Amino acid sequence: MDEPKRLTAKQVKGLEALLDGANIQDAASAAGVNRKTLGRWLQEPHFWKLYQLNSRRGLELAARRLTGNLDGAVELITSVMEDDEAPPAVRLRAAQHVIDSSLRLLDATDIQERLAALEERLEHV
C-alpha cells in the first residue's frame, strides 16, 4: 500500500497562504516559488485534496461560530418585527427575513434527511 505523500516545506507554506485567503501570486511568493509552480501543485490530486479538506474545515469552524449567534439574531429580528414604533417597511422586511430564513432551513433539513436516506440505501446495495 502506498504511503501518504508528504508535502514539502514550500508546499506547506503555499497551502497555508492559500488557506489564509491569499491569491495564487501572493501564495506563491509566500512559498518562495513561481506562480506556475503553485498552479501545478494545485493540479496534483494530493495537494488539491488537502486544500479542499482544510478549506472545508475552516468553513465548518466559521459556521459553528455563526451558529452561536443565531439566538441573538432571531431575538433582534423578532423585536424589530414586533416594534410598533418601527417604520412599517422595516417591520415588513424583518418579517420577510423570518419567513425566508424559515423556508431555507426547512429546505436544507429536508435535503439532509433525503440524502441520509439515500446514503443508507447505498450502504445496503
- pLDDT digit string (tens) for 84-103? 999 999 999 988 988 888 88
Same domain for 50 and 80? no
CB neighbour class for 86 (10 Å; exposed up to 12, middle 13-18, buried from 19): middle
The pLDDT of residue 1 is above 70:
no
Same domain for 79 and 93? yes
The per-residue pLDDT for range 60-77, each reduced to its tens digit, is 888 888 888 888 888 998
Same domain for 36 and 24? yes
Residue 102: per-residue pLDDT: 86
Output the pTM of the full model.
0.57
Same domain for 2 and 62? yes
Residue 4: per-residue pLDDT: 61
Rounded CA separation 33/13 (Å): 10
The per-residue pLDDT for range 25-53, each reduced to its tens digit, is 999 999 999 999 999 999 999 999 999 99
Residue pair 95/81 in contact (Cβ under 8 Å)? The answer is yes
Residue 64: domain span: 1-68
The pLDDT of residue 23 is above 60:
yes
